């Protein structure tokens, strides 16, 4: 496909896999979910698929089958490690692949987010990214006790003025957080560290800058305590399903993950994202739009469709998820991916239904099929995550430019 830009490939990692019964599979490792070795093995397998990046799931409350808060189930995986800390642990033992933890911003200080992700970029030598997560519900707020949020119980009406105002305010706050984080990343100029033993000067104080942000929910003076990340600006991503999140992505992110259900919605979502860019007045590069797909691949013994049926039977109910489930052979899934790439998607983020089973099949069957079709890269050919996904790698520092 010489006239079509290269397809970017991401893999979304979550516990034992995206299906709630995944932990029961013979190949699963439920006893290892909270070990560094488990996550290292997953990311090494994703490297074998030559994926551009992995995302690592995280939330501020326990996983639940209910939107409105924790459930009482004991037959599904509950509990997570901190995604950013997992990524930091993986940085020195992985190569090439981008590491993109989910970090929730609603109840987290932007100063802490900034220095943690800058540290990840340093320890990974330029492979850090960030998936911005917003928490608008009461259960998350109650973990911190600083603010009272409404209890959103489905089905709730997003056209209700009170709910709409709360959602808009929460996403506006998230945009402010990303803005502050980006400013803090720039608060050190690239050559601020002199490290001259002869003169006794380690740092040039004139090249550290106050960011002086004043917002509705917080103010940050700066500078950061962590030198500017190797990428300058690590990659910022957002998962979005509707208008307000699309606008957050358009205001603040480099990449947006979306969840089409079919070809028609894949086309309409692209149009919605571009409209959101116009509404918020986005400048510079357009958003890269990646489609999320849950994948359940055929094995030698069982079709992907039969695997879904068996997993559903284990939970006693059909599996519902926000992203489309694609079950079948590597060729079938590649056909689906290729069709959406032709529509205009810059990348896909694959959610393996069962870990490590479907991730292993992605590396052994699906990724080679995508490479055979000329859709994806054959090797890591850039020194940073920004370079891998085609973003500019020489990012000007806003404060150095102004000075």
166 pLDDT above the threshold of 90: no
Cα separation of 156 and 264, whole Å? 26
The conformation of residue 227, written as its DSSP 8-state character, comes to P
Say if CB 140 and CB 60 are below 8 A apart. Answer: yes
- Give the tens place of pLDDT for each residue, 187-226: 999 999 999 999 999 999 999 999 999 998 899 999 999 9
Q: What is the pLDDT of residues 50-80, one digit of tens each?
A: 999 999 999 988 888 877 778 888 999 999 9
Angle between helices 36-48 and 83-90 (to 10 degrees): 70
Residues pairing with 203 in the sheet:
193
Tokens (6 digits) for 159: 């056209």
pLDDT at residue 47 greater than cutoff 70: yes
Question: Could you give the C-alpha distances from 208 to 214, 234, 393, in angstroms and in order?
Answer: 19, 19, 22
Helix (H, G, I), strand (E, B) or coil at 205: helix
pLDDT band at 319 (very low <50, low <70, confident <90, very high): very high
Share of the chain above pLDDT 90, in %: 85
For 384, counting Cβ atoms within 10 Å of its Cβ (0-12 exposed, 13-18 middle, 19+ buried), the class is: buried
State the Cα angle at 256 between 343 and 39, rounded to 5°.
Answer: 110
What tokens appear for 43 in the block?
A: 């990311």
Residues in the chain: 403
CB atoms within 10 A of CB 20: 23
The Cα–Cα gap between 390 and 385 comes to: 9
Structure tokens at 20: 């709630």
This prediction has a pTM of 0.95
d(CA 162, CA 64): 25
The predicted structure's pLDDT at residue 65: 83
The pLDDT score that the predictor gives to residue 156 is 67
Per-residue tokens: 367: 């990724």
Distance between CA atoms of residues 283 and 298, nearest Å: 43
Residue 2 has pLDDT above 60, yes or no: no
pLDDT digits (tens, 9 = 90+) for 287-300: 999 999 999 999 99
Q: Give the homologous superfamily in CATH for domain 8-136+234-271+286-402.
A: Luciferase-like domain (3.20.20.30)
- Residue 243 burial (C-beta neighbours within 10 Å; 0-12, 13-18, 19+): middle
Distance of CA 248 to the CA centre of its chain: 14
**Arithmetic mean of pLDDT over the chain:** 94
Tokens of 44: 């090494």
């Amino acid at each position: 496909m010489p006239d079509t830009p290269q397809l970017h490939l991401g893999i979304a990692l979550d516990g034992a896999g995206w299906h709630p019964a995944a932990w029961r599979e013979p190949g699963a490792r439920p006893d290892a979910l909270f070990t560094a070795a488990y996550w290292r093995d997953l990311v090494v397998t994703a490297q074998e698929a030559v994926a551009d990046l992995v995302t690592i799931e995280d939330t501020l409350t326990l996983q639940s089958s209910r939107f409105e808060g924790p459930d009482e189930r004991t037959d599904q995986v509950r509990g997570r490690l901190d995604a950013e800390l997992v990524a930091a642990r993986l940085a020195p033992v992985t190569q090439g692949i981008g590491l993109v933890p989910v970090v929730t911003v609603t109840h987290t200080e932007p100063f802490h987010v900034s220095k943690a992700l800058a540290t990840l970029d340093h320890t990974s030598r330029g492979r850090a990214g960030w998936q911005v997560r917003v928490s608008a519900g009461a259960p998350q707020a109650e973990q911190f006790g600083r603010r009272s949020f409404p209890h959103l119980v489905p089905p709730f009406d997003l056209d209700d003025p009170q709910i709409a105002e709360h959602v808009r305010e929460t996403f506006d706050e998230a945009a402010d957080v990303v803005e502050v984080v980006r400013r803090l990343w720039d608060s050190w100029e690239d050559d601020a560290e002199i490290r001259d033993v002869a003169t006794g000067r380690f740092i040039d104080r004139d090249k550290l800058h106050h960011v002086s942000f004043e917002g509705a929910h917080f103010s940050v003076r700066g500078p950061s305590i962590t030198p500017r990340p190797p990428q300058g600006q690590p990659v910022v991503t957002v998962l979005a399903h509707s208008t307000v999140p699309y606008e957050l992505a358009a205001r603040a992110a480099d990449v947006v993950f979306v969840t089409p259900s079919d070809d028609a919605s894949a086309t309409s979502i692209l149009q919605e994202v571009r409209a959101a860019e116009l509404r918020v007045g986005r400048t510079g590069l357009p958003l890269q739009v990646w489609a999320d797909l849950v994948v359940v691949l055929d094995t030698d013994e069982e079709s992907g469709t039969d695997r879904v049926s068996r997993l559903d039977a284990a939970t006693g109910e059909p599996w519902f998820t926000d992203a489309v489930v694609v079950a079948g052979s590597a060729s079938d899934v590649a056909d689906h991916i290729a069709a959406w790439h032709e529509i205009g998607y810059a990348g896909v983020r694959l959610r393996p239904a069962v870990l490590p089973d479907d991730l292993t099949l992605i590396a052994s069957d699906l990724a080679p099929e995508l490479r055979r079709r000329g859709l994806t890269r054959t090797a890591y050919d850039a020194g940073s995550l920004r370079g891998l996904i085609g973003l500019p790698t020489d990012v000007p520092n806003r404060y150095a430019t102004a000075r």
